[in-house]
Amino acid sequence: MAKNTSCGVQLRIRGKVQGVGFRPFVWQLAQQLNLHGDVCNDGDGVEVRLLEDPETFLVQLHQHCPPLARIDSVEREPFIWSQLPTEFTIRQSAGGVMNTQIVPDAATCPACLAEMNTPGERRWRYPFINCTHCGPRFTIIRAMPYDRPFTVMAAFPLCPACDKEYRDPLDRRFHAQPVACPECGPHLEWVSHGEHAEQEAALQAAIAQLKMGNIVAIKGIGGFHLACDARNSNAVATLRARKHRPAKPLAVMLPVADGLPDAARQLLTTPAAPIVLVDKNMYLSFVMISPLTLTKSG
């Protein structure tokens, strides 16, 4: 064997392994185990190349997988290093035929919610907050592998502060592709009959219209939502007429999950945060929201 060459191992990891903080996780795990090699995204998932034996690495890979990730398979084969690695690095993503799963968007995680609601934080009241554990994925991807240049976030160059977070292995935004802040990321805008407002003023304008009983179109990361005050029967009736939905239940947004069944609260706090079906309760009249009444039999 040539000088400075050695036989290592190449791991091919498939599943939900892009857009979930998987490369930073692999990097941190390699640091803990003092391994040498690299990791990268490509069209087929994630590729890990190691100089050392991977057994302990593989055990911990499965035991401590990131919350949004799912490993479906791991293939291994020998790999000859032409130059011995002296550290473990995140290698530039490779192209190839798209053959990996795209992860769905994830609800804002508790850490980001706390940051967004803490005065003095850089992202205080910033609605587009995200990290490696939450935020948009599927709806912002234009191509694979999942890297910022292949998402809609390519239009928003990182400011120095966000770039520092992105490159810091100890930060929860290490290699978080949608990372942004009020200085460099997208911001709220309000447009209505020639009126225009931005950021906090845009939010307050929308709130004012909802309180007046009007319908507001909210552009989210995956499309538009038509919203109104659920306590205003006239507004709900208008919304139903415009949507041509005379009876189908409408989704209701609440500030807190207090009073909901345990099963519903648990679902609402998962990364998927789906719409859940619950019984009509006491503090809102849902006659217009859900006019149909279910009865138990037997």
Give the helix/strand (H/E) hosting 112: helix 110-116
CATH of the domain at 204: 3.90.870.30
Residue 152: both structure tokens together: 């809609």
Query: How many Å from the N-terminal Cα to the C-terminal Cα in the chain?
Result: 78
Q: How far is CA 125 from the centre of its chain?
A: 18
> Any catalytic annotation for residue 41?
yes
Residue 290 pLDDT: 59
Catalytic residue, from 14, 23, 122, 245: name it. 23
Model confidence over 35-94: pLDDT tens digits?
999 999 888 899 999 999 999 999 999 999 998 899 999 999 999 999 999 999 999 887
How much is the average pLDDT of 193-217? 95
How much is the average pLDDT of 215-238? 91
Residue 26 pLDDT: 96
For residue 297, is pLDDT > 50? no
CATH of the domain at 34: 3.30.70.100
> Any catalytic annotation for residue 23?
yes
Tell me the C-alpha to C-alpha distance, in Å, between residue 30 and each of 25, 69, 170, 282: 9, 18, 14, 53
Catalytic residue, from 41, 130, 148, 172: name it. 41
For residue 95, is pLDDT > 80? no
For 171-208, the DSSP string reads STTTT-TT---TTTS---EEEETTEEEEHHHHHHHHHH
Q: How many domains does the chain have?
A: 3
Residue 112 pLDDT: 97
**Do 231 and 220 belong to one domain?**
yes
Domain extent for 215: 189-268
Spell out the long-range contacts of 250-256 with Cβ–Cβ below 8 A and sequence spacing 24 or more.
250/289, 250/290, 251/275, 252/284, 252/286, 252/289, 253/227
- Domain closes at, from 123, 155, 186: 186
